Chains A and B, each alone.
Chain A
């Protein structure tokens, strides 16, 4: 089993409703994960890849991991085509993920990842 990274995950803008109505979560994911993203395969209780194999866990992995381990309902409102559904904003340590390589951003211990839906009424 691969070593783990602990990150803080926050949901906002109504997205928390899909996650047990909990805005803030602390999750641990494997440091090394399978080289190819597992859009179809479930990552439930994924133990990751062996040291020196696969790839470093990134935000793309975290999104699928959250879908398979934390999400309680209506996965299609969170994930579409292997990434977050258009209209969901992502922040990495309070910075727009578009400045951080989006899904390619490699997770570090203690990172804070925020997901906010813009799709709910205003």
Chain B
């Protein structure tokens, strides 16, 4: 046999003439992916099938939905929520969940970041034929993240963004009259959060962050159908399905701590892929006591905006008051809050958040499913 490439050695020839690896599931097509969970080598079609089926199993085992539910997909335009929208639509059609699906996006007002990713969400709306609701920090709070950062700098801006986003998502969901918000958090994200809670010694959050479904301070359920989906598979799924997603780091997110946790996790995963699931299981071990504690907490509403709160003022109102009065640190540190209080009551003219109207009667309490 004469090689067309005289410079090739024996290994190259082997590489050329060896038959392609066959899929471990169908034994027919060429394998294109090594699954991080199982080490199995599988073909493209089998990959789509097992990925979707595993999410379906996660959904049915945790009994996340019932027919007729209105479900909002928290859509950022990024890989996870884009794949989630695609898979939710696929499963809703295939298994006749009977869900009404919506896309819900929050516009934080970050020029060059969120405005670009919202364009992706708008394309998703067309591609998946789902109604889209965009709620902006600007219309809800009167502040964009750009404006917040120009006032407070980049140091604590993630605190503001996190609190504002959570309440904005709930208000957006309430305006869509949905029962349920699903988010694209994947197994890697959850393992990373477990690690961060361990590093911070935040045992209360540790168990809670692994729950597949939570009800939080409000009555709208929040679930993570990708709880057991590896990031690698989500990205591969998007790649092979040629899904349209947006991928740029938030320009204000120098969350170095999370970055370190992520890098550490990826190193662990490289050494042993099951590390992700092992860490999630570790977090789950803390679950039970936390559930007991959660049910004991009394429910109050914020006296200023009517949103669920465990204090007189909800976190968003506290942060907003600090911003409006030029004392943004107020909600971030205890001492600064006291200083704010010492300055007297909030002025009449203070900009506040529109009063929160619960759109529906009380929901039945959600069963917090324990994964098996």
Contacts and interface: CB of A to CB of B under 8 A. Distances in A.
Contacts, number: 92
For this complex, into which size category does the number of interface residues on chain B fall?
35 or more
Interface stretch (A39-47, A59-67, A90-98): A90-98
A109 to B, nearest CB: 8
Contacts of A122: 76, 78-82, 184, 186, 189, 234, 245
Contacts of B76: 121-122
A1 interface: no
A108 B8 CA distance: 10
A61 to B, nearest CB: 14
Interface string B180-223: 00001010110000000000000000000000000000000000
For this complex, into which size category does the number of interface residues on chain A fall?
20 to 34
A108 B249 CA distance: 34
Contacts of A118: 79, 188, 231-232, 234-235
13 contacts: A14-B249, A32-B7, A56-B7, A56-B9, A86-B270, A91-B239, A96-B33, A108-B5, A116-B239, A120-B79, A120-B247, A120-B249, A122-B80
Interface of B: 5, 7-9, 11-12, 15-16, 21, 30-34, 41, 76, 78-82, 184, 186, 188-189, 231-232, 234-236, 239-240, 245, 247-250, 253, 262-263, 266-267, 269-270
Given A32-B7, A122-B245, 15 more contacts: A12-B239, A17-B248, A51-B7, A56-B8, A86-B267, A86-B270, A87-B262, A91-B239, A95-B33, A99-B32, A99-B33, A108-B16, A117-B247, A120-B248, A122-B80
